[in-house]
């Protein structure tokens, strides 16, 4: 029963992603669904992986490590692609380098240096997205919108991380239309970055969660991070 529910929720999200793409003339193949499995057991991840889903996201290092040990990522020859989507402290950088395929929450030069150094030791390169605070809320992590381009320039000399795009969390809203302008701002920041600058490309836009992913896709998201709409509601921590 539960397995059936998970699969039907998942398929419904895929349908809605497809419909959102059609509305704005995009190819659904351009949008990656990152299934955010935080707080749910690895058995749920395995279930979804069993029906062919590849991309999973975690926002806490410890949980990422536990799940990636049980279900190894692409990096180490496994079938899952693990996305670390939450704030990271420098002293945990090594765990992300060991287990994650993609890091979505780069928000400081010091963290970027540490990740690059750890990647060099591990003999790998890590794809990173820069987290941008589009809502201007003080409580939010992320680089302020007017500093994003210079931040990307600042970290571009690091040899073992690759900046591939921008990520954001819009402000919580009952009506996703209320955050459309924030999602559009992220796209505009990526598009207005001069492509030639030091070889960086901001092709990926990681934005949109359970409440606003359809609007995010209409505004150009390449990665939507969806948790509760697939796995069910989380017990508040």
Q: Which is nearer to ligand PLP, 209 or 217 (CB)?
A: 209
Q: Is 85 in the site for ligand PLP (CB under 6 A)?
A: yes
3-state secondary structure 150-181: HHHHHHCCCCCEEEEEEECCCCCCCCHHHHHH
- Helix (H) or strand (E) segment spanning residue 132: strand 126-133
173 CB burial (10 A radius; 0-12, 13-18, 19+): middle
Q: Which is nearer to ligand PLP, 152 or 226 (CB)?
A: 226
CA 198 and chain centroid, separation: 23
Give the nearest distance from C-beta 77 to ligand PLP in angstroms.
27
What's the sign of the alpha-carbon dihedral 66, 165, 34, 236?
positive
Which of 7, 120, 228, 232 touches ligand PLP (CB under 6 A)? 228
Q: Which is nearer to ligand PLP, 108 or 210 (CB)?
A: 210
Q: Is 216 in the site for ligand PLP (CB under 6 A)?
A: no
For the chain, how many residues are written?
237
The label of the residue with tokens 């497809």 reads 18
Residue span binding ligand PLP (CB under 6 A) among the ranges 108-116, 173-181, 196-204, 206-214: 206-214
Q: Which is nearer to ligand PLP, 113 or 228 (CB)?
A: 228
Which of 55, 81, 86, 218 touches ligand PLP (CB under 6 A)? 86
Q: With CB under 6 A, what is the number of residues at the site for ligand PLP? A: 14
Give the residues across from 34 on adjacent strands: 225
Q: Is 185 in the site for ligand PLP (CB under 6 A)?
A: no
Q: Are 204 and 219 in contact (CB under 8 A)?
A: no
Residues 9-68 within binding reach of ligand PLP (CB under 6 A): 36, 38, 59
Which of 66, 178, 210, 232 touches ligand PLP (CB under 6 A)? 210
Contacts by 190-196 with C-beta closer than 8 Å and gap 24+?
A: 190/165, 190/166, 192/149, 193/148, 193/149, 193/152
Which of 61, 161, 209, 216 touches ligand PLP (CB under 6 A)? 209
Q: Which residue's Cβ has the minimum distance to ligand PLP?
A: 227
Give the nearest distance from C-beta 58 to ligand PLP in angstroms.
9
Q: Is 142 in the site for ligand PLP (CB under 6 A)?
A: no
Using left for φ > 0, alpha for ψ between -120 and 50, and beta otherwise, residue 205 falls in: beta
Binding residues (CB under 6 A) for ligand PLP: these are 36, 38, 59, 85-86, 169, 209-211, 225-229
């Amino acid at each position: 029963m539960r397995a059936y529910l998970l699969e039907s929720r998942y398929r419904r999200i895929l349908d809605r992603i497809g419909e959102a793409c059609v509305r704005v003339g995009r190819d659904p193949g351009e949008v990656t669904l990152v299934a955010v499995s935080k707080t749910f057991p690895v058995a749920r991840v395995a279930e979804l992986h069993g029906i062919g889903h590849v991309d999973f996201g975690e926002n806490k290092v410890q949980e990422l490590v536990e799940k990636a040990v049980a279900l190894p990522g692409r990096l180490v020859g496994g079938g899952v692609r693990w996305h670390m989507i939450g704030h990271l402290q420098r002293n945990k950088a090594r765990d992300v380098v060991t287990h994650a395929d993609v890091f979505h929450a780069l928000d400081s030069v010091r963290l970027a240096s540490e990740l690059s150094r750890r990647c060099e030791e591990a003999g790998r390169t890590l794809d990173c997205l820069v987290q941008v605070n589009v809502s201007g809320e003080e409580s939010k992590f992320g680089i302020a919108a007017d500093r994003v381009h210079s931040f990307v320039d600042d970290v571009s000399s690091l040899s073992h991380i690759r900046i591939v795009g921008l990520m954001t969390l819009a402000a919580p809203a009952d009506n996703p239309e209320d955050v459309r302008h924030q999602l559009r701002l992220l796209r505009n920041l990526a598009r207005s970055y001069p492509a030639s600058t030091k070889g960086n490309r901001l092709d990926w836009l990681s934005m949109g969660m359970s409440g606003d992913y359809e609007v995010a896709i209409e505004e150009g998201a390449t990665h939507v991070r969806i948790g509760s709409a697939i796995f069910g509601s989380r017990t508040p921590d």
